[in-house]
Structure 1
Protein backbone atom coordinates (compact mmCIF):
# COMPACT_ATOMS: atom_id res chain seq x y z
CA UNK A 1 0.00 0.00 0.00
CA UNK A 2 1.42 3.38 -1.03
CA UNK A 3 1.22 6.46 1.16
CA UNK A 4 -1.45 8.06 -1.05
CA UNK A 5 -3.75 5.05 -0.57
CA UNK A 6 -4.19 6.04 3.08
CA UNK A 7 -5.73 9.44 2.32
CA UNK A 8 -9.35 9.35 1.18
CA UNK A 9 -12.01 11.82 0.08
CA UNK A 10 -14.05 10.93 3.18
CA UNK A 11 -11.24 11.99 5.57
CA UNK A 12 -11.72 14.99 7.85
CA UNK A 13 -9.30 17.01 9.95
CA UNK A 14 -9.71 16.43 13.69
CA UNK A 15 -7.98 17.85 16.76
CA UNK A 16 -4.92 20.04 16.48
CA UNK A 17 -2.04 19.85 18.97
CA UNK A 18 0.28 22.88 18.79
CA UNK A 19 3.37 23.82 20.80
CA UNK A 20 5.78 26.75 20.83
CA UNK A 21 8.64 26.01 18.43
CA UNK A 22 11.29 26.69 21.10
CA UNK A 23 10.31 23.32 22.66
CA UNK A 24 11.82 21.59 19.61
CA UNK A 25 13.90 24.06 17.61
CA UNK A 26 16.94 25.65 19.24
CA UNK A 27 17.54 29.25 18.21
CA UNK A 28 14.44 29.52 16.03
CA UNK A 29 13.89 33.06 14.77
CA UNK A 30 10.92 34.97 16.10
CA UNK A 31 8.43 36.33 13.63
CA UNK A 32 8.15 40.11 13.76
CA UNK A 33 4.36 39.94 13.28
CA UNK A 34 3.90 38.37 16.71
CA UNK A 35 0.13 38.76 16.96
CA UNK A 36 -0.80 37.80 13.41
CA UNK A 37 -2.33 34.36 12.76
CA UNK A 38 -0.59 32.17 10.20
CA UNK A 39 -2.47 30.22 7.53
CA UNK A 40 -0.23 27.28 6.62
CA UNK A 41 0.24 26.33 2.95
CA UNK A 42 0.07 22.74 1.73
CA UNK A 43 3.54 21.22 1.17
CA UNK A 44 4.44 17.86 -0.34
CA UNK A 45 7.61 15.85 0.26
CA UNK A 46 10.00 16.67 -2.61
CA UNK A 47 10.20 12.98 -3.60
CA UNK A 48 6.44 12.62 -3.92
CA UNK A 49 4.84 12.56 -7.33
CA UNK A 50 1.26 13.35 -6.31
CA UNK A 51 -1.47 12.44 -8.82
CA UNK A 52 -3.90 15.24 -9.67
CA UNK A 53 -6.85 13.55 -7.97
CA UNK A 54 -4.83 13.00 -4.79
CA UNK A 55 -3.74 16.65 -4.78
CA UNK A 56 -7.42 17.55 -4.64
CA UNK A 57 -7.88 15.36 -1.53
CA UNK A 58 -4.89 16.94 0.21
CA UNK A 59 -6.00 20.47 -0.66
CA UNK A 60 -9.49 19.77 0.64
CA UNK A 61 -8.04 18.58 3.97
CA UNK A 62 -5.54 21.47 4.17
CA UNK A 63 -8.38 23.97 3.75
CA UNK A 64 -9.95 22.61 6.95
CA UNK A 65 -6.91 23.48 9.05
CA UNK A 66 -7.24 26.31 11.57
CA UNK A 67 -4.64 29.12 11.48
CA UNK A 68 -1.69 28.84 13.87
CA UNK A 69 -0.11 31.46 16.08
CA UNK A 70 3.38 32.60 14.99
CA UNK A 71 6.32 30.32 15.84
CA UNK A 72 4.29 27.19 16.47
CA UNK A 73 4.70 23.55 15.48
CA UNK A 74 1.59 21.47 15.24
CA UNK A 75 0.20 18.01 14.57
CA UNK A 76 -3.33 18.00 13.13
CA UNK A 77 -5.07 14.62 13.39
CA UNK A 78 -6.91 13.18 10.40
CA UNK A 79 -7.69 9.49 10.99
CA UNK A 80 -6.31 6.13 12.10
CA UNK A 81 -6.27 2.99 9.99
CA UNK A 82 -5.54 -0.34 11.70
CA UNK A 83 -3.41 -2.84 9.80
CA UNK A 84 -5.26 -6.16 9.85
CA UNK A 85 -2.03 -8.07 9.22
CA UNK A 86 0.03 -6.92 12.21
CA UNK A 87 -2.19 -4.72 14.40
CA UNK A 88 -0.20 -1.55 13.70
CA UNK A 89 -1.99 1.81 13.57
CA UNK A 90 -1.38 4.05 10.57
CA UNK A 91 -2.04 7.55 11.89
CA UNK A 92 -2.71 10.20 9.24
CA UNK A 93 -1.90 13.77 10.24
CA UNK A 94 -0.52 17.10 9.07
CA UNK A 95 2.79 18.23 10.53
CA UNK A 96 2.63 22.03 10.46
CA UNK A 97 5.00 24.91 11.08
CA UNK A 98 4.19 28.61 11.39
CA UNK A 99 7.88 29.51 11.60
CA UNK A 100 9.09 32.15 9.13
CA UNK A 101 11.97 29.89 7.99
CA UNK A 102 12.31 26.25 6.84
CA UNK A 103 13.08 23.60 9.48
CA UNK A 104 14.34 20.03 9.60
CA UNK A 105 13.94 17.96 12.76
CA UNK A 106 15.40 14.73 14.16
CA UNK A 107 14.05 12.06 16.50
CA UNK A 108 10.88 13.08 18.35
CA UNK A 109 8.56 10.97 20.49
CA UNK A 110 4.87 11.26 19.65
CA UNK A 111 1.90 10.15 21.72
CA UNK A 112 -1.72 9.37 20.88
CA UNK A 113 -4.32 10.56 23.38
CA UNK A 114 -8.05 9.82 23.49
CA UNK A 115 -10.74 12.44 24.07
CA UNK A 116 -10.14 12.21 27.84
CA UNK A 117 -6.35 12.75 27.45
CA UNK A 118 -5.63 9.08 28.25
CA UNK A 119 -2.54 7.78 26.48
CA UNK A 120 -3.23 5.26 23.73
CA UNK A 121 0.23 4.83 22.19
CA UNK A 122 3.72 6.33 22.11
CA UNK A 123 6.65 5.98 19.74
CA UNK A 124 9.76 7.89 18.62
CA UNK A 125 9.88 8.95 14.96
CA UNK A 126 12.73 10.28 12.84
CA UNK A 127 11.34 13.54 11.43
CA UNK A 128 14.21 13.72 8.95
CA UNK A 129 12.11 11.34 6.87
CA UNK A 130 9.57 14.14 6.42
CA UNK A 131 12.29 16.23 4.75
CA UNK A 132 12.78 19.95 5.15
CA UNK A 133 9.51 21.67 6.06
CA UNK A 134 9.11 25.04 4.31
CA UNK A 135 8.16 28.19 6.24
CA UNK A 136 4.48 28.43 7.22
CA UNK A 137 3.48 25.11 5.72
CA UNK A 138 1.53 21.89 6.36
CA UNK A 139 2.88 18.50 5.25
CA UNK A 140 0.65 15.39 5.24
CA UNK A 141 2.25 12.26 6.68
CA UNK A 142 1.45 8.78 7.96
CA UNK A 143 2.96 7.90 11.36
CA UNK A 144 2.90 4.13 11.91
CA UNK A 145 2.64 2.96 15.52
CA UNK A 146 3.69 -0.69 15.81
CA UNK A 147 1.48 -2.97 17.87
CA UNK A 148 4.01 -3.10 20.72
CA UNK A 149 3.87 0.72 21.01
CA UNK A 150 0.06 0.69 21.47
CA UNK A 151 -1.51 0.51 24.94
CA UNK A 152 -5.16 0.48 23.83
CA UNK A 153 -7.36 -2.43 22.79
CA UNK A 154 -9.05 -0.69 19.87
CA UNK A 155 -8.82 2.37 17.62
CA UNK A 156 -10.36 5.39 19.40
CA UNK A 157 -13.53 7.13 18.29
CA UNK A 158 -13.70 10.88 17.62
CA UNK A 159 -11.83 13.38 19.78
CA UNK A 160 -8.42 11.69 19.80
CA UNK A 161 -5.23 13.59 19.00
CA UNK A 162 -1.59 13.03 18.10
CA UNK A 163 0.87 15.19 20.04
CA UNK A 164 4.53 15.81 20.82
CA UNK A 165 5.60 14.15 24.06
CA UNK A 166 6.89 17.24 25.88
CA UNK A 167 7.84 15.23 28.96
CA UNK A 168 10.24 13.24 26.80
CA UNK A 169 11.52 16.37 25.05
CA UNK A 170 12.45 18.30 28.17
CA UNK A 171 14.84 15.57 29.35
CA UNK A 172 15.15 14.00 32.80
CA UNK A 173 14.82 16.55 35.60
CA UNK A 174 15.31 16.98 39.32
CA UNK A 175 11.98 16.89 41.19
CA UNK A 176 12.78 18.67 44.44
CA UNK A 177 10.13 18.64 47.16
CA UNK A 178 9.16 22.04 48.63
CA UNK A 179 10.59 21.04 52.02
CA UNK A 180 13.98 20.41 50.40
CA UNK A 181 13.82 23.68 48.45
CA UNK A 182 13.32 25.58 51.71
CA UNK A 183 16.15 23.81 53.54
CA UNK A 184 18.82 23.61 50.84
CA UNK A 185 20.78 26.65 49.61
CA UNK A 186 20.74 27.20 45.85
CA UNK A 187 24.33 25.95 45.55
CA UNK A 188 23.35 22.53 46.92
CA UNK A 189 20.24 22.41 44.73
CA UNK A 190 22.44 23.06 41.70
CA UNK A 191 24.80 20.27 42.82
CA UNK A 192 21.88 17.83 43.03
CA UNK A 193 20.78 18.83 39.53
CA UNK A 194 24.25 18.05 38.20
CA UNK A 195 24.30 14.64 39.91
CA UNK A 196 20.89 13.78 38.45
CA UNK A 197 22.03 14.87 34.98
CA UNK A 198 25.12 12.61 35.19
CA UNK A 199 23.26 9.47 36.35
CA UNK A 200 22.83 6.61 33.84
CA UNK A 201 19.84 6.98 31.56
CA UNK A 202 16.65 5.23 32.70
CA UNK A 203 14.48 2.94 30.60
CA UNK A 204 11.13 4.39 29.48
CA UNK A 205 9.13 2.63 32.20
CA UNK A 206 11.91 2.06 34.72
CA UNK A 207 11.72 3.09 38.39
CA UNK A 208 15.08 3.03 40.13
CA UNK A 209 16.38 3.71 43.66
CA UNK A 210 19.93 5.11 43.85
CA UNK A 211 21.80 5.84 47.08
CA UNK A 212 22.84 9.44 47.66
CA UNK A 213 24.06 9.72 51.26
CA UNK A 214 23.95 7.43 54.31
CA UNK A 215 24.76 8.67 57.81
CA UNK A 216 24.79 6.84 61.14
CA UNK A 217 23.55 9.08 63.93
CA UNK A 218 24.64 9.20 67.57
CA UNK A 219 21.44 7.42 68.57
CA UNK A 220 22.42 4.51 66.21
CA UNK A 221 19.66 5.36 63.74
CA UNK A 222 20.49 5.49 60.02
CA UNK A 223 19.54 8.42 57.79
CA UNK A 224 19.60 7.23 54.16
CA UNK A 225 19.03 9.80 51.43
CA UNK A 226 17.94 8.13 48.21
CA UNK A 227 17.24 9.23 44.64
CA UNK A 228 13.85 7.88 43.54
CA UNK A 229 14.10 7.87 39.76
CA UNK A 230 11.01 7.69 37.54
CA UNK A 231 11.55 6.95 33.84
CA UNK A 232 7.81 6.81 33.10
CA UNK A 233 5.96 9.60 31.32
CA UNK A 234 3.38 9.45 34.12
CA UNK A 235 3.80 10.37 37.79
CA UNK A 236 4.16 7.58 40.35
CA UNK A 237 2.67 7.68 43.86
CA UNK A 238 4.38 5.89 46.74
CA UNK A 239 2.25 5.06 49.80
CA UNK A 240 4.13 2.15 51.38
CA UNK A 241 7.80 1.43 50.73
CA UNK A 242 9.65 -1.64 52.12
CA UNK A 243 13.32 -0.70 51.86
CA UNK A 244 16.66 -2.24 52.77
CA UNK A 245 20.18 -0.80 52.74
CA UNK A 246 23.09 -2.96 51.55
CA UNK A 247 26.70 -1.88 52.16
CA UNK A 248 29.80 -2.28 49.94
CA UNK A 249 30.35 -5.86 51.19
CA UNK A 250 26.81 -6.96 50.38
CA UNK A 251 25.76 -6.91 54.04
CA UNK A 252 22.23 -5.77 54.90
CA UNK A 253 22.67 -2.79 57.23
CA UNK A 254 19.05 -1.77 57.69
CA UNK A 255 15.59 -2.93 56.72
CA UNK A 256 12.22 -1.32 57.29
CA UNK A 257 8.86 -0.46 55.80
CA UNK A 258 7.88 3.19 55.44
CA UNK A 259 4.30 4.47 55.31
CA UNK A 260 4.36 7.69 53.33
CA UNK A 261 1.69 10.08 54.50
CA UNK A 262 1.03 12.24 52.58
CA UNK A 263 1.68 10.08 49.53
CA UNK A 264 5.08 10.73 47.96
CA UNK A 265 4.68 11.68 44.29
CA UNK A 266 7.54 11.53 41.80
CA UNK A 267 6.82 13.47 38.61
CA UNK A 268 7.19 11.94 35.13
CA UNK A 269 10.74 11.55 33.78
CA UNK A 270 12.13 12.96 37.04
CA UNK A 271 14.30 12.09 40.04
CA UNK A 272 13.22 12.98 43.59
CA UNK A 273 15.65 12.82 46.53
CA UNK A 274 14.13 11.63 49.82
CA UNK A 275 15.55 10.74 53.23
CA UNK A 276 14.43 7.57 55.02
CA UNK A 277 15.17 7.29 58.73
CA UNK A 278 15.74 3.76 60.05
CA UNK A 279 15.41 3.66 63.86
CA UNK A 280 18.24 1.97 65.80
CA UNK A 281 16.31 -1.29 66.31
CA UNK A 282 16.17 -1.78 62.51
CA UNK A 283 19.89 -1.09 61.99
CA UNK A 284 22.84 -3.50 62.16
CA UNK A 285 25.77 -1.23 61.31
CA UNK A 286 28.62 -3.11 62.95
CA UNK A 287 31.64 -3.05 60.56
CA UNK A 288 29.48 -1.39 57.92
CA UNK A 289 31.28 -0.10 54.82
CA UNK A 290 29.45 2.89 53.34
CA UNK A 291 32.09 3.62 50.69
CA UNK A 292 29.50 2.20 48.31
CA UNK A 293 25.97 1.21 49.22
CA UNK A 294 22.63 0.32 47.67
CA UNK A 295 19.02 1.07 48.49
CA UNK A 296 16.77 -1.81 47.46
CA UNK A 297 13.01 -2.19 47.49
CA UNK A 298 12.06 -5.44 49.24
CA UNK A 299 9.84 -7.58 47.03
Structure 2
Protein backbone atom coordinates (compact mmCIF):
# COMPACT_ATOMS: atom_id res chain seq x y z
CA UNK A 1 0.00 0.00 0.00
CA UNK A 2 1.17 3.55 -0.69
CA UNK A 3 0.92 6.29 1.86
CA UNK A 4 -0.44 9.54 0.49
CA UNK A 5 2.25 11.31 2.51
CA UNK A 6 4.83 9.90 0.11
CA UNK A 7 3.18 11.21 -3.06
CA UNK A 8 4.05 14.34 -5.00
CA UNK A 9 1.59 17.15 -4.52
CA UNK A 10 -0.21 17.90 -7.76
CA UNK A 11 -2.64 20.64 -8.71
CA UNK A 12 -6.01 20.08 -7.11
CA UNK A 13 -8.42 18.45 -9.52
CA UNK A 14 -11.84 19.80 -8.76
CA UNK A 15 -14.35 19.62 -11.53
CA UNK A 16 -11.95 18.55 -14.25
CA UNK A 17 -12.01 14.93 -15.31
CA UNK A 18 -8.94 12.89 -14.42
CA UNK A 19 -7.13 11.16 -17.29
CA UNK A 20 -6.89 7.39 -17.50
CA UNK A 21 -3.27 6.25 -17.18
CA UNK A 22 -2.00 2.84 -18.32
CA UNK A 23 1.23 1.02 -17.54
CA UNK A 24 4.03 1.21 -20.12
CA UNK A 25 7.18 -0.81 -19.35
CA UNK A 26 10.55 -0.53 -21.04
CA UNK A 27 11.76 -3.47 -23.14
CA UNK A 28 13.91 -4.93 -20.36
CA UNK A 29 11.11 -4.94 -17.77
CA UNK A 30 8.71 -6.43 -20.29
CA UNK A 31 11.02 -9.41 -20.61
CA UNK A 32 11.78 -10.05 -16.94
CA UNK A 33 8.71 -8.89 -15.04
CA UNK A 34 6.13 -11.50 -14.06
CA UNK A 35 2.37 -11.04 -14.40
CA UNK A 36 2.17 -10.93 -10.59
CA UNK A 37 4.65 -8.02 -10.45
CA UNK A 38 2.69 -6.19 -13.13
CA UNK A 39 -0.50 -6.62 -11.11
CA UNK A 40 1.18 -5.15 -8.03
CA UNK A 41 2.38 -2.19 -10.07
CA UNK A 42 -1.12 -1.59 -11.39
CA UNK A 43 -2.45 -1.64 -7.82
CA UNK A 44 0.10 0.99 -6.82
CA UNK A 45 -0.73 3.12 -9.85
CA UNK A 46 -4.43 2.98 -9.03
CA UNK A 47 -3.70 4.32 -5.53
CA UNK A 48 -1.92 7.42 -6.84
CA UNK A 49 -3.76 10.76 -6.83
CA UNK A 50 -5.71 11.42 -10.05
CA UNK A 51 -3.80 13.13 -12.82
CA UNK A 52 -5.21 16.10 -14.70
CA UNK A 53 -5.08 16.29 -18.48
CA UNK A 54 -1.74 17.79 -19.53
CA UNK A 55 0.13 17.07 -16.28
CA UNK A 56 3.43 15.21 -16.02
CA UNK A 57 3.94 13.89 -12.52
CA UNK A 58 6.54 12.03 -10.43
CA UNK A 59 5.38 9.99 -7.41
CA UNK A 60 7.69 8.52 -4.79
CA UNK A 61 7.08 5.00 -3.50
CA UNK A 62 9.99 4.18 -1.18
CA UNK A 63 13.56 5.11 -0.31
CA UNK A 64 16.41 2.70 0.37
CA UNK A 65 19.75 3.53 1.99
CA UNK A 66 22.67 2.22 -0.11
CA UNK A 67 25.49 3.62 2.09
CA UNK A 68 26.80 6.18 -0.41
CA UNK A 69 23.45 6.76 -2.14
CA UNK A 70 19.74 6.86 -1.49
CA UNK A 71 17.68 4.82 -3.92
CA UNK A 72 14.24 6.26 -4.61
CA UNK A 73 11.61 4.19 -6.39
CA UNK A 74 9.19 6.36 -8.33
CA UNK A 75 6.45 6.35 -10.93
CA UNK A 76 6.51 8.88 -13.73
CA UNK A 77 3.11 9.56 -15.26
CA UNK A 78 2.42 11.35 -18.52
CA UNK A 79 -1.02 12.93 -18.57
CA UNK A 80 -0.35 14.84 -21.79
CA UNK A 81 -1.28 13.96 -25.36
CA UNK A 82 2.38 13.94 -26.46
CA UNK A 83 5.09 11.40 -25.82
CA UNK A 84 7.84 12.69 -23.54
CA UNK A 85 11.34 11.91 -22.38
CA UNK A 86 13.88 13.62 -20.15
CA UNK A 87 17.49 14.75 -20.24
CA UNK A 88 18.90 16.55 -17.19
CA UNK A 89 16.20 16.66 -14.53
CA UNK A 90 16.40 18.55 -11.20
CA UNK A 91 14.67 16.55 -8.46
CA UNK A 92 13.87 17.46 -4.86
CA UNK A 93 12.96 15.40 -1.82
CA UNK A 94 10.93 17.50 0.62
CA UNK A 95 8.96 16.90 3.82
CA UNK A 96 5.34 17.82 4.59
CA UNK A 97 6.46 21.37 5.44
CA UNK A 98 8.18 21.64 2.04
CA UNK A 99 11.61 21.76 3.66
CA UNK A 100 14.19 20.44 1.19
CA UNK A 101 15.76 17.17 2.35
CA UNK A 102 17.77 16.43 -0.80
CA UNK A 103 18.39 18.05 -4.16
CA UNK A 104 20.13 16.67 -7.24
CA UNK A 105 20.06 16.98 -11.02
CA UNK A 106 19.63 13.55 -12.56
CA UNK A 107 20.67 12.28 -15.97
CA UNK A 108 17.48 10.53 -17.10
CA UNK A 109 18.21 9.89 -20.76
CA UNK A 110 17.97 6.16 -20.12
CA UNK A 111 14.34 6.57 -19.08
CA UNK A 112 13.41 6.62 -22.75
CA UNK A 113 10.13 7.64 -24.32
CA UNK A 114 6.92 7.61 -22.31
CA UNK A 115 3.85 7.60 -24.60
CA UNK A 116 0.79 9.77 -23.92
CA UNK A 117 -1.36 8.85 -20.92
CA UNK A 118 1.10 6.22 -19.68
CA UNK A 119 3.11 5.57 -16.51
CA UNK A 120 6.37 3.74 -15.85
CA UNK A 121 8.27 2.67 -12.72
CA UNK A 122 11.79 4.07 -12.41
CA UNK A 123 14.59 4.44 -9.88
CA UNK A 124 16.68 7.52 -9.15
CA UNK A 125 19.73 7.75 -6.90
CA UNK A 126 20.60 10.71 -4.70
CA UNK A 127 24.26 10.94 -3.68
CA UNK A 128 24.64 11.23 0.08
CA UNK A 129 26.57 14.46 -0.39
CA UNK A 130 23.35 16.02 -1.72
CA UNK A 131 21.31 15.11 1.37
CA UNK A 132 20.64 17.99 3.76
CA UNK A 133 19.53 15.72 6.61
CA UNK A 134 21.00 12.65 8.26
CA UNK A 135 17.95 10.46 7.72
CA UNK A 136 14.88 10.60 5.48
CA UNK A 137 12.01 9.28 7.57
CA UNK A 138 9.64 6.85 5.89
CA UNK A 139 6.47 8.73 6.83
CA UNK A 140 7.53 12.29 5.97
CA UNK A 141 8.93 12.71 2.47
CA UNK A 142 7.87 13.20 -1.12
CA UNK A 143 9.74 13.69 -4.38
CA UNK A 144 9.04 16.37 -6.94
CA UNK A 145 10.46 18.00 -10.04
CA UNK A 146 12.52 21.13 -9.64
CA UNK A 147 11.10 24.32 -11.08
CA UNK A 148 13.40 24.31 -14.10
CA UNK A 149 12.44 20.84 -15.30
CA UNK A 150 11.27 20.50 -18.87
CA UNK A 151 10.14 17.50 -20.84
CA UNK A 152 11.21 16.91 -24.40
CA UNK A 153 8.91 15.71 -27.15
CA UNK A 154 11.18 13.37 -29.08
CA UNK A 155 11.04 10.91 -31.94
CA UNK A 156 12.79 7.56 -32.20
CA UNK A 157 13.67 7.26 -35.87
CA UNK A 158 13.92 3.94 -37.68
CA UNK A 159 16.50 3.06 -40.27
CA UNK A 160 14.82 2.92 -43.68
CA UNK A 161 17.74 1.85 -45.83
CA UNK A 162 19.94 3.40 -48.46
CA UNK A 163 19.51 5.76 -51.41
CA UNK A 164 20.68 3.10 -53.88
CA UNK A 165 22.07 -0.40 -53.85
CA UNK A 166 25.19 0.55 -51.89
CA UNK A 167 26.08 -0.43 -48.34
CA UNK A 168 23.39 -3.11 -47.88
CA UNK A 169 25.95 -5.42 -46.34
CA UNK A 170 26.47 -2.77 -43.63
CA UNK A 171 22.81 -2.41 -42.67
CA UNK A 172 23.39 -3.96 -39.23
CA UNK A 173 26.31 -1.60 -38.60
CA UNK A 174 24.28 1.47 -39.53
CA UNK A 175 21.31 0.34 -37.44
CA UNK A 176 23.61 -0.09 -34.43
CA UNK A 177 25.03 3.40 -35.05
CA UNK A 178 21.49 4.84 -35.17
CA UNK A 179 20.46 3.16 -31.92
CA UNK A 180 23.39 4.74 -30.07
CA UNK A 181 22.42 8.28 -31.06
CA UNK A 182 20.35 10.40 -28.65
CA UNK A 183 16.69 10.78 -29.53
CA UNK A 184 15.86 13.60 -31.91
CA UNK A 185 13.40 16.33 -30.99
CA UNK A 186 10.06 16.20 -32.75
CA UNK A 187 10.13 18.50 -35.78
CA UNK A 188 13.93 18.55 -36.04
CA UNK A 189 16.17 17.23 -38.82
CA UNK A 190 19.56 15.97 -37.71
CA UNK A 191 22.72 14.94 -39.57
CA UNK A 192 25.34 12.72 -37.89
CA UNK A 193 28.69 11.71 -39.43
CA UNK A 194 29.35 7.98 -39.58
CA UNK A 195 32.77 8.13 -41.20
CA UNK A 196 35.12 10.46 -43.07
CA UNK A 197 38.06 9.24 -45.11
CA UNK A 198 40.67 10.54 -47.53
CA UNK A 199 40.47 8.98 -50.98
CA UNK A 200 43.42 8.14 -53.24
CA UNK A 201 42.70 11.18 -55.43
CA UNK A 202 42.86 13.47 -52.32
CA UNK A 203 39.08 13.94 -52.29
CA UNK A 204 37.24 13.48 -48.98
CA UNK A 205 34.39 11.00 -48.60
CA UNK A 206 31.79 11.65 -45.90
CA UNK A 207 29.30 8.96 -44.92
CA UNK A 208 26.52 10.54 -42.89
CA UNK A 209 23.08 9.75 -41.54
CA UNK A 210 20.08 12.06 -41.86
CA UNK A 211 17.34 11.63 -39.26
CA UNK A 212 13.92 13.14 -39.88
CA UNK A 213 11.91 14.01 -36.77
CA UNK A 214 9.21 15.74 -38.82
CA UNK A 215 5.80 14.43 -39.80
CA UNK A 216 6.51 15.14 -43.48
CA UNK A 217 9.15 14.02 -45.99
CA UNK A 218 12.39 16.02 -45.85
CA UNK A 219 14.02 16.83 -49.20
CA UNK A 220 17.40 18.57 -49.46
CA UNK A 221 18.69 20.28 -52.60
CA UNK A 222 21.76 21.99 -51.16
CA UNK A 223 23.95 21.14 -48.19
CA UNK A 224 26.58 23.37 -46.53
CA UNK A 225 29.57 21.36 -45.34
CA UNK A 226 32.66 22.57 -43.49
CA UNK A 227 35.51 20.37 -42.26
CA UNK A 228 37.79 21.80 -39.58
CA UNK A 229 40.96 20.48 -37.98
CA UNK A 230 41.79 20.27 -34.27
CA UNK A 231 42.77 23.95 -34.20
CA UNK A 232 39.50 25.05 -35.78
CA UNK A 233 41.12 25.81 -39.11
CA UNK A 234 39.12 25.07 -42.25
CA UNK A 235 40.27 22.01 -44.17
CA UNK A 236 37.49 21.98 -46.76
CA UNK A 237 34.08 23.49 -47.27
CA UNK A 238 31.37 24.82 -49.49
CA UNK A 239 27.67 24.79 -50.26
CA UNK A 240 27.01 21.75 -52.40
CA UNK A 241 24.18 20.81 -54.74
CA UNK A 242 22.81 17.40 -53.86
CA UNK A 243 20.31 15.18 -55.60
CA UNK A 244 17.80 12.55 -54.50
CA UNK A 245 18.24 13.31 -50.81
CA UNK A 246 14.90 12.66 -49.15
CA UNK A 247 14.00 11.03 -45.88
CA UNK A 248 10.54 9.84 -44.87
CA UNK A 249 8.87 10.99 -41.63
CA UNK A 250 10.47 9.55 -38.48
CA UNK A 251 13.05 7.67 -40.55
CA UNK A 252 16.83 7.72 -40.95
CA UNK A 253 18.87 7.19 -44.09
CA UNK A 254 22.56 6.89 -44.94
CA UNK A 255 24.21 9.02 -47.63
CA UNK A 256 27.73 9.11 -49.05
CA UNK A 257 29.07 12.45 -50.32
CA UNK A 258 32.46 13.26 -51.80
CA UNK A 259 34.16 16.65 -51.51
CA UNK A 260 36.41 17.04 -54.52
CA UNK A 261 39.91 18.48 -54.52
CA UNK A 262 38.69 21.90 -55.70
CA UNK A 263 36.97 22.52 -52.33
CA UNK A 264 39.86 21.34 -50.15
CA UNK A 265 42.01 24.05 -48.55
CA UNK A 266 44.45 21.88 -46.58
CA UNK A 267 45.29 18.63 -48.33
CA UNK A 268 47.78 17.63 -45.61
CA UNK A 269 45.32 17.66 -42.71
CA UNK A 270 44.76 14.42 -40.82
CA UNK A 271 41.13 13.75 -41.70
CA UNK A 272 40.78 11.34 -38.77
CA UNK A 273 41.20 14.23 -36.33
CA UNK A 274 38.86 16.62 -38.13
CA UNK A 275 35.24 17.49 -37.43
CA UNK A 276 32.46 17.91 -39.97
CA UNK A 277 29.88 20.69 -39.66
CA UNK A 278 26.77 20.89 -41.81
CA UNK A 279 26.64 24.66 -41.68
CA UNK A 280 28.80 27.59 -42.86
Q: Shorter-chain TM-score category? A: 0.3 to 0.5
The normalised TM-score by structure 1 is 0.44
Instruction: Calculate the TM-score normalised by the size of structure 2.
Output: 0.47
